[in-house]
Amino acid sequence: AQSVTQPDIHITVSEGASLELRCNYSYGATPYLFWYVQSPGQGLQLLLKYFSGDTLVQGIKGFEAEFKRSQSSFNLRKPSVHWSDAAEYFCAVGTNAGKSTFGDGTTLTVKP
Amino acid sequence: ETGVTQTPRHLVMGMTNKKSLKCEQHLGHNAMYWYKQSAKKPLELMFVYNFKEQTENNSVPSRFSPECPNSSHLFLHLHTLQPEDSALYLCASSQAAMDSNYEQYFGPGTRLTVT
């Protein structure tokens, strides 16, 4: 069965610092991978997705993610974090029948 | 209205009440989903509808009853809920629920409190 692991429950970074959020997946076939962001009291918003091709994908709000098949990872990165990036981030793998399996989420706190 | 909308945004109900949550998508999608998001728990998929047909019921108690009259509207009817049902209920839609490469678009959620 497919699964997604986000090893970091909570991360704190200073504004302007770089960010990397980790995601590891387990899936038997070629994965479809997504990162979503959820601000407090809101639904999830898609940041970026990977289906095939270039393993480095660009998303909205200056985020990027790199797919590494050998490591079963799809880590999210941003070179310089802004205070408005404070939110919860979810990694997900697309599975059969259009369902997505979500990780438990990583809460990002940004220090001024 | 654009995207996925949900009403009401907040709902407080007693355990003997009956209420309904409404979701509407304005994206021309054919699949709709209900999720439950509780504090300190992962996102739980409850139901999936594809072209108005229910394709997934993730062992959800019968006190939750979904309804999908057309591809744009999804309801979640609630009755005799328990306090542990208090959570954020998220609706989502995607182009179709047959392929796994379609991202989902989420509504803002309904914050449900059962007293």
Closest alpha carbon within chain A to B40: A104
Kindly report the nearest CA distance between residue B3 and chain A, in angstroms.
11
CA–CA distances in Å: residue A102 to residues A17, A27, B15, B42, B51:
27, 13, 30, 7, 23
Q: Of the candidates A28, A26, A64, A25, which has an alpha carbon nearest to the alpha carbon of residue A48?
A: A64
Q: Of the candidates A105, A23, A65, which has an alpha carbon nearest to the alpha carbon of residue B90?
A: A105
Shortest CB distance from B42 goes to which of A36, A43, A102?
A: A102
Shortest CB distance from A43 goes to which of B48, B98, B108?
A: B108
Look at B60 and B103; give whichever has higher pLDDT. Answer: B60
Q: How far is CA B98 from the centre of its chain?
A: 19
* Interface contact flag, A104 B103, Cβ < 8 Å: no
Residues of A with CB under 8 A from a CB of B: 32, 34, 36, 41-46, 49, 51, 90, 94-100, 102-105
> B50-63, pLDDT tens digit by residue?
888 888 888 899 99
Percentage with pLDDT > 70 across chain B: 95
Kindly report the nearest CA distance between residue A72 and chain B, in angstroms.
18
* Interface contact flag, B104 A43, Cβ < 8 Å: no
Q: What's the token pair of residue A88?
A: 């919860």
For residues A11-31, give the mean pLDDT. Answer: 92
Residue A98 has a pLDDT of 66
CB burial readout B57-73, b (16+ within 10 A) else e: eeebeeebebebeebbe
Residue A97 has pLDDT above 80, yes or no: no
Residue B95 has a pLDDT of 87
Percentage with pLDDT > 90 across chain B: 73
- For chain B, the 3-state helix, strand and coil shares in percent, each to the nearest 5, are 5, 55, 40
Q: How far is CA A96 from the centre of its chain?
A: 20
Shortest CB distance from A100 goes to which of B50, B104, B109?
A: B104
> B28-38, pLDDT tens digit by residue?
999 999 999 99
Find residue A98's DSSP bridge partners.
Answer: none
Q: What's the token pair of residue B106?
A: 């989420």
Q: Of the candidates B31, B21, B1, B14, which has an alpha carbon nearest to the alpha carbon of residue B81?
A: B14
Residue B1 has pLDDT above 70, yes or no: no
Residue A63 has a pLDDT of 98
| CB neighbours of residue B42 within 10 Å | 16
Give strand ranges (E) for B39-95: 44-50, 53-57, 64-70, 73-79, 87-94
Asked whether A25 and B91 are in contact (CB, 8 A), the reply is no
Lowest mean pLDDT among A54-58, B8-12, B53-57, B77-81: B53-57
Look at A94 and B3; give whichever has higher pLDDT. Answer: B3
For residues A35-59, give the mean pLDDT. Answer: 92
Lowest mean pLDDT among A35-39, A94-98, B110-114: A94-98
